[in-house]
């Protein structure tokens, strides 16, 4: 075989493996639209913990969506204000007062972030500590971001799955904003790549080592969290949701799926903003390893860029194998494109999308080397060397 045919054959073989042998991740079948039946004598108690830093523009919607849950069990909300300068805590309190349920919202004013902690995890730690001071402990903790809105049945659905299936963690990949051109270009692929790294079907299986969660919406069994070492056990992790999932999977089964019951309240806007979101954790995903960074960029070029190049400039078997790999990647993205209600033609743009993600990953490494790794809400949170 000629060198270009070898490249084409290897790229096609990799895509056949991804389509068939990696938990069929691309089919996006793990969703919360088919919840199991559950008719308990009494619903478990839940406390939602919401870390927030400068979220005044969306916090009222987020808090009200939690206060409007049709959950018949005990449900309280703890907002931890992480040094906001925009009146986040006051906006949350007004949102609760407008519904006449101010007594169901506790506002905790966070303290300065200690060395060795990321800001979000320190806020969560303070929220959990506040909860544990109560005389009666909740059965579950709902760890959710301040820019996430919940449908009225979301808590009930989360608890149902956890109780019926015996899950110590039930997490939902919140539906992200996907309206602008940049969002349509990058957001479906963001979830696609996450599923490729952590096939959701494997996450749910006890015998598989794969463990992942989406930090925007995580229902955690409180006792299991305590056994796992609590939030302190992951205090410096940039990819904190997946780190917590790994610890909790050692305590019992976990589950992660797509949803329309939790959605992002804030649009991402342009390429630069989405790029910052991706760059925040991309190099951490590689363990801060220059060798893995080089291998990742080479791998992206091999399986995403080589196929269209061969399709355009090669001849004979190399062209057809390149075309086959290009078609395979375009088809693999289709279920996620349907979920986000965008044109199936975006599948053909996968080579360009993958190269954009490669650029964001390189930028993530550059930011780390400049001492600005994990930059979020004005803080460089990545620890030198990673954990």
Looking at the chain, list the stretches that DSSP marks H as alpha helix, in order from N- to C-terminal side.
3-20, 59-67, 88-98, 119-132, 154-165, 181-197, 200-203, 222-227, 240-249, 271-285, 290-300, 306-313, 316-332, 334-339, 350-369
Run of H or E residues at 254? strand 254-264
Task: State both tokens at 65.
Answer: 């969506």
Report how far residue 269's alpha carbon sits from residue 101's, in angstroms, rounded to the nearest whole number. Answer: 34
Residue 337 CB coordination number (10 Å): 21
Give residue 373's pLDDT. Answer: 64
For the chain, domains (ranges, CATH) are: 3-26+272-369 (no CATH), 28-268 (3.90.550.10)
Smallest CA-to-CA distance from 279 within 364, 186, 342 is with: 364
Q: Is the pLDDT of residue 288 over 80?
A: yes
Tell me the pLDDT tens digit for each residue of 164-210.
999 999 999 999 999 999 999 999 999 999 999 999 999 999 999 99
Q: Is the pLDDT of residue 38 over 70?
A: yes
pLDDT given for residue 77 in this prediction? 98
Whether the pLDDT of residue 380 is over 80: the answer is no
Taking 50 as the threshold, does the pLDDT of residue 279 lie above it? Answer: yes
Give the integer Cα–Cα distance in Å for 145 and 149: 9
Per the rule left: phi > 0, alpha: psi between -120 and 50, beta: everything else, 166 is: left
Q: What mean pLDDT do residues 99-114 have?
A: 96
Spatial distance between the Cα atoms of 310 and 307, rounded to a whole number of angstroms: 5
What are the pLDDT digits (tens) for 199-257?
Answer: 999 999 999 999 999 999 999 999 999 999 999 999 999 999 999 999 999 999 999 99
Residue 66 has pLDDT above 90, yes or no: yes
Please count the helices (runs of H) and the strands (runs of E) in the chain. Answer: 15, 8
For residue 41, give both structure tokens: 């004598």
Average pLDDT, the chain: 93
Question: What local confidence, expressed as pLDDT, does residue 387 receive?
Answer: 35
> Please, how many CA atoms are within 13 Å of residue 318, restricted to the half-sphere of its CB?
14
Determine the Cα–Cα distance for residues 129 and 197; give it in Å rounded to an integer: 33
Q: 292 phi and psi, to 5 degrees? A: -65, -35
């Amino acid at each position: 075989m000629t060198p270009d045919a070898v490249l084409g054959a290897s790229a096609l073989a990799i895509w056949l493996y991804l389509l068939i042998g990696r938990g069929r991740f691309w089919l996006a079948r793990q969703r919360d639209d088919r919840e199991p039946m559950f008719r308990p004598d009494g619903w478990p108690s839940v406390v939602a913990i919401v870390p927030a830093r400068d979220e005044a523009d969306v916090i009222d919607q987020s808090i009200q969506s939690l206060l409007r849950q049709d959950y018949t069990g005990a449900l309280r909300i703890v907002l931890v204000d992480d040094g906001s300068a925009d009146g986040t805590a006051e906006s949350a309190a007004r949102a609760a007062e407008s519904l006449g349920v101010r007594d169901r919202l506790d506002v905790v004013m966070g303290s300065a972030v200690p060395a060795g902690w990321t800001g979000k995890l320190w806020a969560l730690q303070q929220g959990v500590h506040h909860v544990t001071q109560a005389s009666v402990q909740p059965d579950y903790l709902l760890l959710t971001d301040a820019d996430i809105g919940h449908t009225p049945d979301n808590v009930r659905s989360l608890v149902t799955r956890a109780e019926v299936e015996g899950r110590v963690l039930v997490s939902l990949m919140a539906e992200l904003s996907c309206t602008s051109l940049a969002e349509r270009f990058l957001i479906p692929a963001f979830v696609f790549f996450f599923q490729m790294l952590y096939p959701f079907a494997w996450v749910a299986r006890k015998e598989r080592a794969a463990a992942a969660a989406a930090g925007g919406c995580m229902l955690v069994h409180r006792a299991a969290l305590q056994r796992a070492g609590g939030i302190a056990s992951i205090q410096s992790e940039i990819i904190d949701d997946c780190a917590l999932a790994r610890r909790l999977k050692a305590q019992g089964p976990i589950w992660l799926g797509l949803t329309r019951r939790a959605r992002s309240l804030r649009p991402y806007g342009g390429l630069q903003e989405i790029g910052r979101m991706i760059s925040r954790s991309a190099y951490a995903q590689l363990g801060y390893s220059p060798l893995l960074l080089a291998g990742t960029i080479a791998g992206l070029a091999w399986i995403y860029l080589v196929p269209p190049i061969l399709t355009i400039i090669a001849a004979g078997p190399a062209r057809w194998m390149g075309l086959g790999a290009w078609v395979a990647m375009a088809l693999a993205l289709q279920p996620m494109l349907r979920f986000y209600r965008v044109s199936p033609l975006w599948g053909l743009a996968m080579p360009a999308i993958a190269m954009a993600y490669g650029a964001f990953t390189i930028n993530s490494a550059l930011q780390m080397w400049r001492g600005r790794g994990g930059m979020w809400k004005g803080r460089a949170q990545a620890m030198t060397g990673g954990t």
